Amino acid sequence: MLVSGSEDRPPLTLTQLAWRRFRRHKMALFGALLLILILLYVTAGAFIFSEKDANRTDPRLGFTSPSTEHPFGTDRTGRDILARTIYGGQISMIVGILAVVISLILGILIGAFAGFYGGVVDGILMRITEAILNIPSLFLLILASKFFSNKIPTFAFLGRSFSGSVIVVIVIIGLTSWMYLARIVRADFLSLKEQEFITAARCVGVQDLGLIFRHILPNTIAPIVVSATLGVANAILMEAYASFLGLGIQPPTASWGNMLDKAQPYLETAPWLWIFPGTLILLTVLSINFLGDGLRDALDPRAQI
């Protein structure tokens, strides 16, 4: 006789298991909350300040320290730092996300085909991967920005103006950051393609592309999600490095990186020029890394429930 309330509970789904693991990771929850706040800052802030506000100059207000009228102060030409961090943050986020999209597409496709087909295909694709791994990505980004940024004209999109350097930075970061993901996907495919469910799918006539994208790839989603999350942080840092050297995002487009570059001569006399964009870069990268660590643990099938 069953006692009321003693019935077996239904088993947890994979999503429920992942969420249970994730919410136990306090730093990951903190990172997710912090990242949401930063995203709200750079998106909702655009409804308060226009791009014209971010680029409006007034030499009379040059080097105004933080005040109630200008909470983050102003730069040499009187531009409001608060407005510029909002629009600069949008560019940094766009660069990070779009660069990761490019790297995900390349990494998944190359890793999947190398792992699934093996043999000559695997050998050729992995040699290409290893060759690109030996190219310093920051050095390539600096060279490409130097030679191609000025050849792409400024363009308008969604009511905003973007310098051609934005496209160069996104493409170069995306083309030089897919190799580690390709190796991870390849290793998973080498293991999964020998599983019984793949043999069964072959027996019922599923074609190669169906096996790759419908049966094997969904089972590699965990490392892909983690790689994408951490890749955004790396892309933001890469853009900041190049822009800090004056070879990344070019005016009139603002980014957190080129704001730091313009602040170099005034590190002591006007510290607010670098404190606010530098802090936003730090908080964004930390929050994404915390989130990535939590997702890695949550999506690990070997982790404890």
Instruction: Give the pLDDT confidence of 175-216 residue by residue, as tens digits.
Output: 988 999 999 999 999 988 888 888 898 899 889 899 999 989
CATH numbers and ranges of domains, the chain? 25-298 (1.10.3720.10)
pTM value is 0.86
Which pairs count as long-range contacts for 72-77, CB under 8 Å and 24+ apart, including other chains?
72/272, 72/276, 73/270, 73/272, 73/273, 75/262, 75/263, 75/270, 75/273, 76/262, 76/266
The sign of the torsion formed by the CA atoms of 52, 58, 61, 65 equals positive
How far apart are the C-alpha atoms of 297 and 305, rounded to whole Å?
11
**Cis peptide bond N-terminal to 59, omega within 30:** no
Per-residue tokens: 228: 């994408």
The Cα 14–Cα 43 span in angstroms is 32
CA end-to-end span of the chain: 30
- Residue 2: CB atoms within 10 A of its CB come to 7
pLDDT by position in tens, the chain (length 305) = 444 444 556 776 777 787 888 888 889 999 999 999 999 999 999 899 888 888 888 888 888 899 999 999 999 889 999 999 999 999 899 999 999 999 999 999 999 999 999 899 999 999 999 998 888 887 888 788 777 767 777 766 666 777 778 888 899 899 988 999 999 999 999 988 888 888 898 899 889 899 999 989 988 888 898 889 989 999 998 888 888 777 778 777 788 988 998 898 888 899 999 999 999 999 999 999 999 888 888 876 655 55
Full DSSP string of 246-279: T-SSPTTS--HHHHHHHHGGGTTT-THHHHHHHH
Write down the pLDDT at residue 9.
Answer: 67
Q: 225-267, pLDDT tens digit by residue? A: 888 998 999 999 888 888 877 777 877 778 898 899 889 888 8
91: number of Cβ within 10 Å:
25
CA distance 232 to 92: 10
